């Protein structure tokens, strides 16, 4: 039942919505614009049309070896996501398909670990990492990010798996499918979309994690969050370079984010809003 | 259909997640709790030892701790207010029929995907910088004196940045909830002569109440832990003007090496988070029963 919409209403709403959207998006837009300016141009006052120089991008790579933290971000976010999935898929599967009275309590408890403020365990984590030789190592940070996001991964997978009807499994079993066939031909195709969404959201969260990635790294394993933070005490003119580094740091995740709006809502509200 | 065999299998499948999470949570927390009753300074170990509740007593005697807790609550409260009110208004606006809705939506949610250090540095340098920022350009254009935001209004500036990051989240979730509102209900209300305001108050708002609760709870968890935004902008200053509890704990532990005090601060942060978590769990848990 479509409601009748007057053209005037639509035009007014459109103008208002675009105005607000552009204001909200402006800091990002202006960063992208500034990244194509020269350093002197960047501080020469407000200007929306840059000279389209790629000088800053070259300098960010040449002067700071940008590729290294970028690769670290990729390795950490993808690595920790895969590892978390490896641990979480069996757990979520078990909870969804053979739930017990305590399944809900376990889920709740997992969620509660997510609410522990990271800063409360900063020092213990630091000495544990130091004693295990994991400080500033990609392995250590991957493990950390895996554990941080594990509760969300289990939860998200659980809400997806729960929607797979159990009757289908029973039907497959009745038809004489072996456990292996059941998993490969029946469950996997139905579980893949949920796993993919979970993966996407988790990569975004891991990419943007900005406490442990800053505190537990120095140079070797430092991802983009730590790299960008080092720009907080700059020397000389750096506006255009900061913009170029920032643009590169947010672009991949911004694009991934645009494609995962729905999953984002679901994952971050633990299935409470769909 | 759960046989004993599948039950055992299910336990085995859950074990890695449960065991790992448990160890990962309990070991560091136990160390922090133990340290919170100690004087422990790696640089000056002579006076190390058990001090009872002395570290916690500092929360009464040391103004830094008082400011930190106050600032933490101000950040949480202000950002929640801005994002919830703004999010409701934006969600209603985006729910209207508009040209290019998909693009508008993408523009609005984008800040949420910006990593905190980038968000903070972009705001600090591109937008709020008293010399080269856009607000300074605007002020000069209007013939006004540019404002040095982080020196004059440090806490407000941080609230602005954090609210910018979280407004998209609130909008996205409230919009999702709004779009699940039954169109026929709206129409029925309209036909019964309910004005726009009445429809909002008696129909839309109650429908969104659950989503609003979820937004409040989830944001609170993250807002209690704001850290990178402070680190790269004000560094907690001037004085303690923009120091929140996580940042103070970090300062005490990593800069002053007062591990005992930092640990006590950490335990207080845990207690604060637990109070919130208690309510969060109840709200999310209710949904599970459905």
CB contact under 8 A, A253 and B113: yes
Nearest residue, CB atoms, A123 vs list B115, B263, B274: B263
List of chain B residues whose C-beta atoms are within 8 Å of the C-beta of residue A91 = 13-14, 16-18
Q: Residues B164, A205, B20, CA angle at the centre, nearest 5°?
A: 140
Q: Are A183 and A157 contained in the same domain?
A: yes
Domain, as residue range, for A29: 7-59
Structure tokens that stand for A138 in this block: 């990609």
Residue B32 is assigned to a structural domain of this protein: no
Asked if the Cβ–Cβ distance from A21 to B104 is below 8 Å, we say yes
* Average pLDDT rounded to a whole number, residues B267-272: 87
The predicted-structure confidence for A79-120, as pLDDT tens digits, reads as follows 999 999 999 998 998 888 888 888 888 888 887 887 788 888
- What pLDDT does residue A237 have? 66
Q: What are phi and psi of B103, to 5 degrees?
A: -65, -45
Dihedral angle computed from the Cα positions of residues A63, A67, A69 and A75, in that order, rounded to the nearest 10 degrees: -170
Q: In chain B, how many domains are there?
A: 1
Longest dimension (CA), chain A: 74
- Does A194 lie in the same domain as A114? yes
The answer to whether A56 and A66 have CB atoms below 8 angstroms apart is: no
Q: What is the mean pLDDT of chain A?
A: 85
Cβ–Cβ below 8 Å for B280 and A115:
yes
Same domain, A50 and A72: no
Looking at every residue in chain B, the average pLDDT score rounds to 85
Position B59 confidence tier, pLDDT thresholds 50, 70, 90: confident
Nearest in space to B245 (alpha carbons), one of B217, B212, B276, B214: B276
Q: What tens digit of pLDDT does each residue of B128-161 get?
A: 888 888 888 888 889 888 888 888 899 999 999 9
Task: Let me know whether A72 and A135 are in one domain.
Answer: yes
Q: How far is CA A60 from CA A75, B254, B257, in A?
A: 20, 29, 34
Largest CA distance in chain B: 79
Residues of A in contact with B104 (CB under 8 A): 17-18, 21
Q: Is A32 on the interface with B (CB under 8 A)?
A: no
User: What CATH number did the domain enclosing B190 receive?
Assistant: 1.10.3720.10
Q: Taking residues A235-257, what's their average pLDDT?
A: 86
Cβ contact B269–A120 (<8 Å): yes
Residue B18 lies in a domain: no
A97 in Cβ contact with A166 (< 8 Å): yes
Residue B179 has a pLDDT of 85
Do A215 and A117 fall within a single domain? yes
**Cα–Cα distance between A26 and A32 in angstroms, integer?**
10
Decide if pLDDT at A1 tops 50: no
The CA distance from A188 to the nearest CA of chain B, in Å, is: 17
Residue B46 DSSP class = G
Contact between chains at B281 and A45 (C-beta distance less than 8 A) = no
Answering whether pTM is above 0.95, one says: no
Would you say residue A251 lies in a domain?
Answer: no
The tens digit of pLDDT for each residue in B13-51 reads: 888 899 999 998 889 889 889 888 888 777 777 777 787
Residue B186 has pLDDT above 80, yes or no: no
CB-based contact, A229 to chain B, within 8 Å: yes
Q: Is B249 within the bounds of a domain?
A: yes
Residue B95 in contact with residue A220, Cβ under 8 Å? no
Residue A87 touches chain B, beta carbons under 8 Å: yes
A71: CATH = 1.10.3720.10
Does the beta-carbon distance from B137 to A257 stay under 8 Å? Answer: no
Exposure pattern of B134-153 as b/e (b: 16+ CB <10 Å)?
A: bbbbeeeeeeeebbbbbeeb
- CA B198 to CA B76: how far, in whole Å? 30
Q: Do A116 and B270 touch (CB under 8 A)?
A: yes
Question: Is the Cβ of A118 closer than 8 Å to some Cβ of chain B?
Answer: yes
Considering the domain architecture, whether residues A77 and A195 belong to the same structural domain is answered as yes
User: How high is the pLDDT of residue A2?
Assistant: 47
How many domains does one find in chain A?
2
B137: which chain A residues are within 8 Å (Cβ-Cβ)?
A: 45-46
Cα distances (angstroms) measured from residue B56 to each of B5, B37, B257: 50, 8, 17
Helix (H) or strand (E) holding B49: strand B49-50
**Do A40 and A103 share a structural domain?**
no
Helix (H, G, I), strand (E, B) or coil at B39: strand
Instruction: Tell if the CB–CB gap between A17 and B96 is shorter than 8 Å.
Output: yes
Cβ contacts (< 8 Å) between A27 and chain B: which residues?
111, 119, 122-123, 126-127, 164
Residues of B in contact with A20 (CB under 8 A): 90, 93, 108
Which residue of A lies nearest to B114 if distances are taken between CA atoms?
A250
Q: Which residues contact A15 (CB under 8 A, 6 or more apart)?
A: none
DSSP assignment letter at B187: H
Residues of B whose CB is below 8 A from A18: 98, 100, 104
Residue B23 lies in a domain: no
Residue A41: inside a domain: yes
Element (H, E) at B50: strand B49-50
Tell if the CB–CB gap between B270 and A224 is shorter than 8 Å. Answer: no
Residue B137, domain extent:
61-289
Q: Are residues A38 and A83 in the same domain?
A: no
């Amino acid at each position: 039942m479509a409601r009748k919409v007057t053209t005037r209403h639509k035009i007014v709403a459109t103008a208002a919505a675009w105005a607000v959207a552009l204001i909200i998006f402006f800091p990002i837009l202006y960063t992208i614009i500034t990244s194509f300016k020269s350093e002197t141009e960047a501080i020469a006052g407000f200007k929306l049309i840059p000279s389209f120089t790629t000088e800053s991008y070259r300098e960010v790579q040449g002067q700071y070896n940008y590729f290294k933290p970028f690769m670290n971000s990729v390795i950490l976010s993808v690595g920790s996501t895969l590892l978390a999935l490896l641990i979480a898929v069996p757990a979520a599967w078990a909870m969804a398909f053979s739930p017990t009275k305590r399944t809900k309590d376990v889920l709740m408890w997992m969620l509660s670990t997510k609410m522990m403020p990271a800063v409360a365990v900063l020092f213990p984590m630091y000495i544990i990492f130091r004693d295990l030789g994991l400080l500033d190592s990609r392995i250590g940070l991957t493990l950390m990010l895996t554990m941080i996001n594990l509760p969300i991964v289990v939860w998200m997978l659980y809400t997806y798996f729960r929607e797979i009807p159990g009757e289908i499994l029973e039907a497959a079993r009745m038809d004489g499918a072996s456990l292996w066939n059941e998993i490969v031909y029946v469950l996997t195709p139905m579980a893949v979309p949920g796993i993919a969404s979970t993966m996407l959201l988790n990569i975004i969260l891991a990419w943007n994690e900005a406490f442990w990635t800053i505190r537990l790294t120095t140079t070797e394993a430092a991802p983009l969050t730590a790299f960008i933070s080092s720009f907080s005490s700059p020397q000389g003119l750096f506006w255009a370079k900061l913009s170029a580094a920032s643009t590169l740091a947010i672009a991949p995740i911004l694009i991934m984010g645009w494609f995962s709006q729905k999953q984002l809502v679901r994952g971050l509200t633990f299935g409470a809003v769909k | 259909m759960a046989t004993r065999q599948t039950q055992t299998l299910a336990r085995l499948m859950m074990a890695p997640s449960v065991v790992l999470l448990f160890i990962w949570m309990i070991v560091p927390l136990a160390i922090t709790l133990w340290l919170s009753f100690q004087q422990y300074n790696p640089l000056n170990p002579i006076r190390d030892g058990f001090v009872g509740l002395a570290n916690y007593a500092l929360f009464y005697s040391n103004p830094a701790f008082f400011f930190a807790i106050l600032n933490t609550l101000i950040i949480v409260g202000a950002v929640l207010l801005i994002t919830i009110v703004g999010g409701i208004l934006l969600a209603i606006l985006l729910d209207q029929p508009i040209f290019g809705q998909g693009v508008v939506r993408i523009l609005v949610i984008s800040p949420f995907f910006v990593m905190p250090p980038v968000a903070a540095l972009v705001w600090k340098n591109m937008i709020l910088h008293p010399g080269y920022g856009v607000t300074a350009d605007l002020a000069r254009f209007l013939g006004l004196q540019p404002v040095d935001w982080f020196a004059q209004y440090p806490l407000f500036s941080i609230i602005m940045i954090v609210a910018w990051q979280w407004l998209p989240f609130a909008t996205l979730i409230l919009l999702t909830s709004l779009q699940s509102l039954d169109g026929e209900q709206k129409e029925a209300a309209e036909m019964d002569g309910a004005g726009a305001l009445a429809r909002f108050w008696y129909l839309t708002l109650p429908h969104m109440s659950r989503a609003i609760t979820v937004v409040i709870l989830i944001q609170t968890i993250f807002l209690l832990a704001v850290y990178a935004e402070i680190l790269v902008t004000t560094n907690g200053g001037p004085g303690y003007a923009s120091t929140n509890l996580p940042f103070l704990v970090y300062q005490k532990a990593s800069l002053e090496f007062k591990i005992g005090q930092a640990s006590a601060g950490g335990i207080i942060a845990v207690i604060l988070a637990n109070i919130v978590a208690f309510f969060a769990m109840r709200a999310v848990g209710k949904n599970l029963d459905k």
